A = this chain, B = another copy of it.
Amino acid sequence: MARTPPHPDTFDLQQVLEALVDPVRRSIVTQLDASGQDIKCGAFDIPVSKSTATHHFNVLREAGLIRQYYVGTSRMNTLRRADLDDAFPGLLDALITRPAGH
Which A positions have Cβ atoms within 8 angstroms of B? 13-14, 17-18, 20-21, 23, 88-91, 93-95, 98, 101-102
Contacts and interface: CB of A to CB of B under 8 A. Distances in A.
A98 B17 contact: no
Nearest to A14: B23
> Mostly helix, strand, loop or mixed at chain A's interface?
helix
A90 B20 CA distance: 16
Oligomer copy total: 2
| 10 nearest CB pairs, A to B | A90-B90, A91-B94, A90-B94, A21-B21, A17-B21, A88-B94, A90-B93, A94-B94, A18-B21, A14-B23
A94 B93 CA distance: 10
Contacts of A90: 90-91, 93-94
